[in-house]
Chain A
Amino acid sequence: MSEHSTPPTTRRDFFARTSDGLLGAALTQLLCHDFFGGTSAFGAESDAAAHAAEPAHNLVPRQGHHPAKASAVIQLFMNGGPSQMDLFDPKPVLDRMDGKPFPGNAEEIGNQSTADIGVMMGGQYKFARHGESGMWMADVLPHTSQMADEICLINSMWTDHPNHDNALYKIHSGRLFMGYPTLGAWTVYGLGSENQNLPAYVVLNDPLGPPKNGTRNWTAGFLPPTFQGTRFRPTGSPILNLKQQYEQTSAVTAAARGLLNQLDEIHRHERPHSPELDARIESYSLAARMQLSAGEALDLTREHEHTLAMYGVGEQATDSFGRRCLLARRLVERGVRFVQIFLEEQPWDSHVDLADNHRGACLRTDRPVAGLLRDLKQRGLLDSTLVIWGGEFGRTPTSQKSGDVYTGRDHNMQAFTSWMAGGGVRGGTSYGATDDFGHSVVENPVGVHDFHATILHLLGLHHQKLFFKRSGLEERLTGFEVPRVVTEILS
């Protein structure tokens, strides 16, 4: 039997006409158009292809387990661990004890090492109440505080590890170790995407560098790699290899793609019942569509000047983060399911000069964050977009010795503040409470699994029903112990 049997009659005719050279150029253009437009010259076949793709590997939008409040998530990740008692959770008792020794056992402060524990350190900024809800926020957040009535502060977050690496794994994947799928991966695994021309799960990295733990912050772990986060860069080529990295005119590219399409169609037709070949052709076509769509989605020149100003685009301190927040809105608008924004390395990790360093981090992020909330609200997108702000842990009530100065705070896994806004969350809420020093949770604790379960709930997913079978076991984002959906913060 010949391995290269001729394709079916109609197609043979089609290609026969090509090969005489007269129609070659025209056909190439046609196929090329097909490639970019996504409407195949052999449309019926292409539909069959989409149908035959393996369900676990695709991003077709799916129904959740219950009606969703939020259809998209923007996670503003504050790498390094912002200080709760300086930003959101004022502690007058701590202020009064400023400079005094920690009243309890120093080993209970919570980090591994007790060698450089300093003294009690009062709040570094002035607090005031904001909005109708009278939510506390520090004066280094002048913009975010204006949006207080949209925000639900969770002051009673806690986690399991005082090291960045592990706490980052935990907050993103629910486990203390590498290799587990992240919240974003689980979300798109559960829900697919509303936009087939863009990745479902987008990561907006800081152009200054990757966050601590790098790509592991958005890994698909053991889930199929389709569900991993795709990193968009705000400048240059937004996706790895999205643009040609070599010189070639678009006419050449068009001709090459036309050729590829012809060859692959022949190849596929000689091999009926091979869904993987259909899926592959589709993946080339998505790649081509993505090159167009991503370019359009990332083009901020289409934004009004006052919108850019709202995000602080164009001002040195806020430009970079502002652009990413604005991009996040544009992506969510286009049906991207999950967007994560990171800062480089870990700017919130203030072991030294906390007052200055946190002020610097606020300066970069406060206005863009508020701009994002305001913009989403104005466009009617906030109701369906869940915005999450927070880091991997909080900071200690005591100062930390570094050299011979005591100006920063160490890591604190026992309490920290995260906030949510939009997407079915009750704005103007301050949930949970910590002790007099902001050191540990005393009321309504929210563990990372609870936090994740609540986010899934808002997305219409049930934490127990969302699982992936691995070696005969059902793996879940929220692990074995049943978590609690924090219903009190839902609107």
Chain B
Amino acid sequence: MPYQRLHILAISVSCLMAIPSARADEKGPVFESDIQPVLARKCGKCHSDKVRKGGLDLSSIAGIRQGGESGEAAVADTVDDSLLWEMIDGGDMPPEGQDPLTADERELIRRWIAAGSQSEKPAENVITQHDVLPITLLRCTACHGARLQQGGVDLRTPAAMRRGGDSGPALIPGDPDASPMIQRIESESCPPRDLLLKFFVKRPPASEVKVLREWIATGAMEVDVLPDVATTDPDPLVSSEDRQHWAFQPPVATLEAESIDDFILKKLTENGLEFSPEAARDTLIRRAYLDLIGLPPSLSEWKAWRNSDDPDWYRKLVDQLLASPHYGERWGRYWLDLAGYADSEGGVSDDPVREVAWKYRDYVIHAFNSDKPYDRFLLEQIAGDELLDYENAPVVTGEMIENLTATGFLRMGIDQTGSRTMNFVPERLGVISDAITVLGSGVMGLTMECARCHSHKYDAIPHRDYYRFKAIFQGALDEHDWLSFKNRSLDVATPERRKRVAEVNPPLIAELKKLESRLKQAVSTAQIETLRQHYQDQSEADRKKTLAALKIADNNRTLPQRILVENLQRAEVIPDSEQPATVLEARLVVNRIEHDIEQVRQKLEPPLEIRALWDRGDPSPTYILRRGEYDKPGQLVGPGVPSVLTDGRTPFVAEPPFPGGTPKTGRRLAFARWLIQWDHPTTSRVMVNRIWYHHFGTGLVKSLENFGVKGERPSHPELLDWLAVEFVERGWSIKHLHRLIMNSRTYRQSSRVTEERQKLDPQNRLLSRMPLRRMDAETLRDSLLFVSGTLDDRPGGRPDSVSVNRDGLVSVNPTSDGQWRRSVYVQYRRTEIPSMLETFDYPEMGPNCVARTVSIVSPQSLMMMNNEHVRELAAAFANRVQAILSSQDPVRVDPVAAQVDTVYQFALNRLPSDVERRIGIDSLELLQTEWQGDRHAALATYCHTILNSAAFLYID
């Protein structure tokens, strides 16, 4: 347990416990006279009490004993164990380029440590309330804190400790033995054994008890320490040189260019290149559709655009697609990746479902469709709860609901804190850290998470900046006053919604209850029947015992119970084709009831519940955690943003947003407002880069999540800045960016790679052509559904369920009319990602996904070739082709050629080339022969092959 050591005049500590190292009369080097001057000279630039690089202050014996971010003291009992000596001896310190220690100086330091690192003054380690509070927060305040004051005791402040509770003060200054809090801890009556797991508390180790004892023994000293925050003095660890890094300077638009093409062409010309020719019209149509809405054009849309004689047709196409409700479904999905959206909590094997996460999904889709300005979008998602005082409002408004729903943004990470055993402080810190990572990687372009355990290795993000940043969220995500996912939701709704839910749901819920009990019965019947059929010798009693054993957790079953259950499992996995009819019938009953249940569920009004993040007004203090470890507290810090993104002279000021209303810290609101300032160095750049990435497959800055010094430099820095400024000046409109990009010549280029372009621009960093791109998982699945005419395009609401078959294949259940909705509306339970999407690189959200992998692996081919569902979609596609053809003029010269042409129009949005047409005709004839003359089957196989072809999967 590291003590918080403070510099206090020796006179005031004469009465305190001193570390027995002050033996100034002995021979040997002494800190003050011999060592301190050397350290000040050679190490003081970085390790003074002000700068404290790596958290280390070498200016005082106290600082040396405290050590730095590693949590280890700089000197130990022996020379070899001393970190200070290790760094000096290994030549690591002072670092290269700094004045090195002379041989004499090194020897002096060695001798000093060897002789017990003596100092004149006693080590002025005074234990204060800031050594004690981190302990009581960790061990005591679950019962004696904000929510609960057992025995009237509150252990959150020294004053409250002195005051105590029903049975007198909790501590008696100067007398630890008589202090009830020490007595109770040492007798192990506190924390009580039977409540450890209820409150997720662990007993304090002896080292912590010792700190408590010493603090009380020395008079329960309180010092006035203000939380460490940014001031008007620049942080010495963040230099103005650090701020010179390109991405930490506000973007400035050059006046030398006026369009995307100007910037791109300039570089192309410099490299002896020109734009590629414009892509063919069919290609542009398909590209724009798949890019903006993630679906191909319908036959009539394709024909209309292809035959349009409007010279302005392309611009109109882009506008029309931007106005489509499908646009938000496609581009909102990108944001959901960034947020790490999931419909389950993860972390534990049950993987509990997040019932209303979808409300946030719908919020995002709606925000994109309505082109909500990006600054507002961020403001709502980060601090929606601090915008309007919904708790004090006479009437809850739709806007309040929207704001609160938006805060689901930082609630998407893995959260196991609702589990029976996984809600201790380290797990809670994991949830907080995930939220910080999402903001850092997704919005700020900073690898914030690197500074959780120590100062960032590359960027000027000191350790303290991470914890100041963490303090911003303390009002809502307080690891010492935690809400698990089970109770972290709000039941806030407009009066209309409340009324509707009260009217609609109760009878449906009653019906569900009935159905569920029928289901239970039906499942038992099916199981008994399975046993009867497969184990005819088994006694009826054993069959009943089997069902009883199923109710016991598998690891609590006796061996006979296990064997019974195994027998049942063995019988159940026998394929349907070998099951007796009575078993299949019994299962059919189960399926029917399940279907009925689903039908009733769909009629339910969504619950009022909102998966929100809200400030609770009374945050615990935030301490730096040395090495990121929950039980190694360091300095007290207050809220703040990474200094390197500021001018270093402007303190971070958070004010309660509702004076006289609901108490809230206003910290996230202040953070969000800082983030969306027009000249913020990374906010606009990061978003513009992401939009660019989704259009072109590569960002102007390749490392989307890292704009720091280890991130990639932009390929076109001036273009990035120009776009960033344009974005902000046009009211943070994302749709404006799409227009700018998609109407550019750059975007309209062909994707063909010539020998010359390959040579001069092998990676296409100059954008000498449009890249060829593979459909992502959702586009592929949605396009298959669309082409086969089985897409149900109803938006929003509860996610569509999935089922897992015995092979582990996860498939999406159809909607009530036998179709399927878009992939964005499928349930994303972390342990049940639909196989098709997973196979095509749907990511594991950990905690989010800033850029998806594009893999090319054989399971994809197997999926497309062999999967039953894909084959059924191909058959449905063939039906559509036939329906279209039979509705047309029956007198066609070549009906087979017409089939080929129609298939190409539907699936690939173009006509086949002559070669492709001839191959198609030949193949259809061959297939018809192989199908014994079945024309329809032949066409279905042909359609299936086209859906498998590279031309379908890759976008030119």
Measured CB to CB, the residues of A under 8 A from B are 1-4, 6-7, 12, 15-16, 18-19, 21, 24-25, 28, 53, 57, 80, 107, 112-115, 163-166, 177-179, 205, 207-210, 212-216, 219, 221-222, 224-226, 230-231, 233, 236-237, 239-246, 248-249, 251-252, 255-256, 258-260, 262-264, 266-268, 270-274, 276-277, 279-284, 286-287, 290-291, 344-347, 349-353, 356-357, 359-360, 402, 471-473
Contact = CB atoms under 8 A, between A and B. Distances in A.
B818 interface: no
B866 A221 contact: no
Given A252-B930, A273-B758, A349 B844 contact: no
Interface stretch (B191-199, B313-321, B581-589): B191-199
A224 B921 CA distance: 40
Contacts of B951: 263, 267
Contacts of B865: 241, 244, 284, 287
Contacts of A25: 926
B347 A352 contact: no
A164 B808 contact: no
B207 interface: no
Given A259-B945, A471-B447, A15 B197 contact: no
A12 B915 contact: yes
21 contacts: A4-B913, A7-B915, A12-B915, A16-B915, A178-B830, A226-B857, A239-B859, A240-B807, A240-B835, A256-B942, A259-B923, A260-B948, A267-B949, A271-B752, A271-B956, A273-B753, A283-B858, A353-B559, A357-B557, A360-B559, A360-B562
Given A240-B859, A255-B930, A360-B559, A19 B918 contact: yes
A12 B557 CA distance: 69
7 smallest A-B Cβ distances: which pairs?
A19-B918, A179-B846, A356-B559, A245-B868, A349-B555, A287-B861, A472-B710
A256 B945 contact: yes
A263 B916 contact: yes
A186 to B, nearest CB: 16
Contact of B753 (A15, A272, A279): A272
Contact residue range for chain B? 35 or more
Contacts of A352: 555-558
Interface in B534-565: 554-560, 562-563
Nearest to A28: B926
Contact of A357 (B559, B846, B857): B559
A306 B510 CA distance: 62
A271 B753 contact: yes
A3 B956 contact: yes
Contacts of B868: 245-246
A231 B810 CA distance: 14
Contacts of A163: 348, 421-422
A57 B855 contact: yes
A177 B347 contact: yes
Nearest to A223: B853
B844 A219 contact: yes
B282 A3 contact: yes
Residue among A210, A249, A284 having the largest count of chain B Cβ atoms under 10 Å: A284
Interface of B: 193-194, 196-197, 203, 277, 279-280, 282-283, 346-349, 414, 421-422, 430, 441, 447, 450, 458, 554-560, 562-563, 566, 569-570, 573, 575, 703, 705-706, 708, 710-711, 750-753, 755, 758, 772, 774, 807-809, 830-831, 835, 841, 844, 846, 853-863, 865-868, 871-872, 910, 913, 915-916, 918-919, 921-923, 925-927, 930-931, 937, 941-942, 944-946, 948-951, 953-954, 956
B450 A473 contact: yes
B945 A251 contact: no
A276 B555 CA distance: 48
A271 B555 contact: no
A3 B280 contact: yes
Nearest to B277: A1
Given A266-B916, A271-B752, A360-B559, 11 more contacts: A21-B925, A205-B808, A215-B831, A236-B575, A240-B835, A241-B862, A258-B923, A266-B915, A280-B856, A357-B558, A471-B705
Contacts of A213: 349
Given A230-B859, A236-B575, A241-B863, A346 B555 contact: yes
Given A1-B750, A113-B197, A472-B703, A246 B871 contact: yes
Given A287-B865, A346-B554, A3 B279 contact: yes
Nearest to A114: B193
A244 B858 CA distance: 14
A334 B431 CA distance: 44
A266 B949 CA distance: 11
A24 B926 contact: yes
A283 B860 contact: yes
A216 B573 CA distance: 23
Given A12-B915, A243-B866, A356-B559, A18 B831 contact: no
Contact of A225 (B841, B926, B931, B942): B841
Contacts of B923: 24, 28, 255, 258-259
A225 B809 contact: no
Contacts of A344: 569
Contacts of B558: 352-353, 356-357
Given A12-B915, A349-B555, A212 B954 contact: no
Contact of B280 (A1, A255, A256): A1
B856 A178 contact: no
Given A255-B927, A259-B942, A352-B557, A210 B844 contact: no
Given A212-B349, A471-B441, A274 B809 contact: no
